[in-house]
Every structure is written in structure tokens, then in C-alpha cells.
Chain A
Amino acid sequence: MDELKLWTAFQSGDEDAYTQLYKLHIRAMYRYGMSLVAASEAFVLDCVHDVFTEIWVKRTRLTIPTNVRHYLLKALKIRILHLLERKEHPVQSLTETDYDALWTEPNDLELLEELEAANTRKERLMRLIAQLPPRQQEALKLRFVENMNYNQIGDVMDVNHQSAKNLVFRAVEKLRGWIILPSLTFFIFFINK
């Protein structure tokens, strides 16, 4: 299933190819959209709708992307940000630098509480990842779930290649630090299950 073939077919008006592209990426777009905004499912689906209808209208004028998923996720993010900016009521804006500055590092006690609330190792790890700054979480997801490279990640997150790499690097280091914290209780929790 060559995506580039699907894309060129869609560009010449092939509705089946267009539908296939939709089916290939809808889940990824949905989960990415939902992870960006604490908003309703309806809002995210509206934005997905807007992205797909827009590329259909513009299909003859599009360039061929090197990675379709990257292209679509980026388009989705742009659409989400655009609509949030237009609403009259102040919504927590996703301007990246503000958000990071507000993020406070969880202390040991908070971490311990998070871990105690979890029932499985999987859930513990999930909670630890959720303790990271949002941008780092986003970078992890784009790298290890959407399998994008650092150029593409940088493009979606509006930073350069190196900064994208740094986000992942810092996230990994932080997680490693938390996972092997020199606290006896931690060890017991972590090794036992």
C-alpha cells in the first residue's frame, strides 16, 4: 500500500484513494487532536472535517508530502489553533512558551501519590509520562507513536530539528530519573508488579 500512489491518485480526483487516506489517518488525527486540546470530541472532529474538505478543494494545487501523516497532523494542529484564536472567549491558548514556563516540576511526594494511585505498571508509566511538560509529552508521542523524524516533529511543533530532539532527550532523562529514584518504596512498587 504505497501512500504516495494514493496521494497522487487523490490529487487527480480519485475519491476512493481519498477515502483510503482518510481511513488510514483518522485515528491518529483524532488522538493527536484530543491530546492537544482539552476540548470536546466534536470540536476535534470538526477540525478533521475541515482539513479533509480543504485538501479536497485544493487537491490540484497541493505538493506531494514526504510523509502523509506528518502533513495531516500538522494541518490539523494549524486548524485547531486557528479556530481557538478566533473564539471570543479566552481559551487557554496553546502558545508554547507560556505553557512550559507555567509547568512546575512534580516533587517526590506528588510522584509517589501518582504511582500509588495506579494499579498496573502500564498505568504507572502512563501517569509518569503525564507528569512531563506538555511539549515533551507531545514530542514523545510524535516520535514513538507516530514515528515521525525530528525534522517532521520540529515542523509540527514549530521548532528546529535540534530543539525537537532536545524535547525528547529531556523527556527521556526525566523519566529515567523518576523510574530509578533512590526511594525504597518506589523500588518495591516498580519491581514487584
Chain B
Amino acid sequence: MQPDYDRFSSADFLTDDFFVDHQLAPTPQSTAFWQAWSEEHPQEQWQQAVSLLEAIRLGLDAYAQTHLSEETIQQLLIRIQQTNAQSIKVTAPVARFTWIKWVAAASVGLAVGIWWLTRYNVTPYEQRLATLTKTFTEKINTTNQPQLVRLPDQSVVSLNPNSRLSYPTDFGQKNRQVYLSGEATFAVTKDTQKPFLVLANELVTKVVGTKFRIRAFSREEQVRVQVLSGQVSVYRDHANSERVHQKGVLLLPNQQVVFIRKMDRFDKSLVEQPSVIRPPNRVKQSAAFVYNETPISQVLKEVKEAYGIDILYNKEALIDCQLTSSMDGLSFDQKLSIICKTVGATYDVIDGQVVINGGSCQ
């Protein structure tokens, strides 16, 4: 069934597939058709349509030729292939038992091991251990309770069920490096000369002396690091480059970072239940977090210091605000809610900091 081409405007032609297809890729049949048609019918709109199509294609040419360098294409391809390599699941029989047997053979045939790795796409944890040239100690928690591991430098690790921790025999000589698969809480002894590094999935968590928790299961899409006390820096491990300080995330107490593996992205936030890390220092021995017509700026200062969480707000707008409340025993969020209700403001947590929006007391 043929549309009524002689009634067509140029715009009609341009939205007609048969016309457009012929203009872009003529076939003998379409050529014959349009030739015959144009001999018998008025051509003005048709002609206009042809020029218009040519003009549109010309105007879109820059878009069609949008440049993307070969190098970028190649690099992206490699990135895609790397992500795919990591997403392949390791089935249970292969995961633990065969791996241990293989470790025994490692000293005999490291080359074989590496071939096996590339063939079966094992987890980052196993990959790292395979490329180690030194001997190491491994602790695997096969129970359903956390297990304590004491490291040579007296640091203590609480290893969760289904998790594995390894450290080389020269641990503590030049640096303190451990490998984690799963979840563990670390209490690290202070030693500024020898940074403590935890390698888990694609991340390196570096600490001096502190308490923190890392969750890095190979099958999970995220890696989570939470700081309980002290301070920790977390960055992406780049296998080929020197582990010089990379752009990463600095975590303070009560902060956590979630690393989204597929997107290579860090999301910094607060832990779910921030806890007081430094009880407020009261000159008059009065109870902490109890306020009587106290200026808001002082309240916020105390909360900020007690939790170690930065709180940003408009000092001028809240200059006349006061708080009378007993907030002892309330959670961090509850304290913030009360403060905000009092001054008529709201708060957001952005990037591990609290931002108070609005509010005024006239």
C-alpha cells in the first residue's frame, strides 16, 4: 500500500522510510520507482526534501564524526576485560581445598600456578598470594564465630567467619602488610616507622595505629572500611605502579568508606551508629550533653569534638540560638534532630560531614 506521495510535503518525505532509505542507500528497485514517480508528479516538495535531507546530514556530520582516539578505545577495552576477569565466580570446591594443595606446590611450580590463575580467574586475594615470592602464614576462619589472631607486632585481628588473613614471614621488618579476604576488625599497635597495610580486593588501607574494620568479600560488589579510632587512608591498589601515596580517601573516626568495585568509586559517609570517641571535657563537672540556655555554637562545638565529626552551619544565622535540653544518652542522630528542631533547620550528611541547612532564631 503506497502513501499518497503527490500530497506529501517535504517534511512528509523526510519521515517516510522508503524515501529516506532510497536517498541513503538506493537499490535498483527503489531507483526505478522514484524515477517513474517523479516523471509523473509535481516535483517541488520532493526536490526540497532531497536538499533538506542533504542539509541535515551535513549539519549532523560533526556529530557523526565525533572523535574518540584509538588509545582511549583500547584503554577502555582493557578496563572492561579486567572487570570481567574479576567477576567470574569461583565455585566452592575450587576455592579452598584445591587452593591449599596448590600452595604446597607453589614453591615447586610458580609458573604453573600463574597459568592456573589466569585460566580460572581467581579472587584478588588468591591472586595476590600467588604472586608473593616469600613464604607466609595464613589464618582461615572456618568456624561461625570470630577468631582472634595476634600478629608478630602485637596487633590483634578479630577475623570473622568465612574469612582469611595472611601475612608474610618477614612481617614487621620493613613494613607490616597483611592480605584479607572477608571481614575483620583490626586493633593495630602504633608504629610510625612501619605503616600497617591491609590489602583487600582492590584496596589498600593504610594505618599507623588505630582500630578499624574492613569488609571485602570477593563476591560482594562493595568493599567497606570503617574507622573506630585513629585515622586511616584508603586507596585503590594499582598493581603495576609503586605503592606511593595514591589519591584516596582519608577516614576519621566514625567515618566509613564504601568502595563500589565495578565503578571504581569511593563513597564516604558516616558509620550507622557514630559513637563518642572523646567524652566532653567539662570544667564545672556538669553532666555531658546537658544544656541550659546554652548558645548553639557551643553545643555544636561540643558534639563535634565528642564524635570527631565535622559539623558545618551558618554561624551568623544561628548566633542568637540557644538550647535547653538534656541529650545525654541519646544517639548522634537524635542529638542532631533535637538541635535542628530547636533552630528550625534540617541536616544532611555529605561526604562524612554534617551540614546544617537553614534555621534562625529571631
Contacts and interface: CB of A to CB of B under 8 A. Distances in A.
A26 interface: yes
Interface string B65-84: 01010001100110111011
Contacts of B87: 53, 56-57
A179 B55 contact: yes
A22 B262 CA distance: 18
A165 B16 CA distance: 9
Contacts, number: 100
B36 interface: no
Contact of A49 (B63, B76, B350): B76
A176 B76 contact: no
Contacts of A80: none
A65 to B, nearest CB: 19
A38 B58 CA distance: 23
Interface in A33-65: 34-35, 41, 45-46, 48-50, 52-53, 56-57
Interface stretch (B7-15, B300-308, B328-336): B7-15
Interface in B49-102: 52-53, 55-64, 66, 68, 72-73, 76-77, 79-81, 83-84, 87
Interface stretch (A96-104, A108-116, A122-130, A181-189): A122-130
B17 interface: yes
A31 B63 contact: yes
Contact of A129 (B15, B56, B264, B350): B56
B52 A172 contact: yes
B109 to A, nearest CB: 27
Interface residues of A, number: 43
B11 A172 contact: yes
B56 A144 contact: yes
A176 B52 contact: yes
Contacts of A129: 56, 59-60
B104 interface: no
Interface string A123-156: 0011011000000000011011101011000000
Contact of B80 (A27, A53, A126, A173): A53
A23 interface: yes
Interface residues of B, number: 37
B1 interface: no
B68 A53 contact: no
Contacts of B158: none
B68 A26 contact: yes
A45 B72 contact: yes
B83 A172 contact: no
A2 interface: no
Contacts of B20: 143-144
B61 A19 contact: no
Contact of B55 (A26, A30, A125, A165): A125
B73 A23 contact: yes
B166 interface: no
Nearest to B88: A57
B66 A172 contact: no
Nearest to A165: B15
Interface of A: 15, 19, 22-23, 26-27, 30-31, 34-35, 41, 45-46, 48-50, 52-53, 56-57, 88, 121-122, 125-126, 128-129, 140-141, 143-145, 147, 149-150, 165, 168-169, 172-173, 175-176, 179
24 contacts: A15-B81, A26-B76, A27-B73, A30-B66, A46-B264, A49-B79, A50-B262, A53-B84, A53-B87, A122-B59, A126-B59, A126-B60, A129-B56, A140-B56, A140-B60, A143-B20, A144-B57, A150-B17, A165-B15, A169-B14, A172-B15, A175-B52, A175-B55, A176-B48
Q: Which 4 A-B pairs have the closest CB atoms?
A: A125-B59, A31-B66, A172-B11, A129-B59
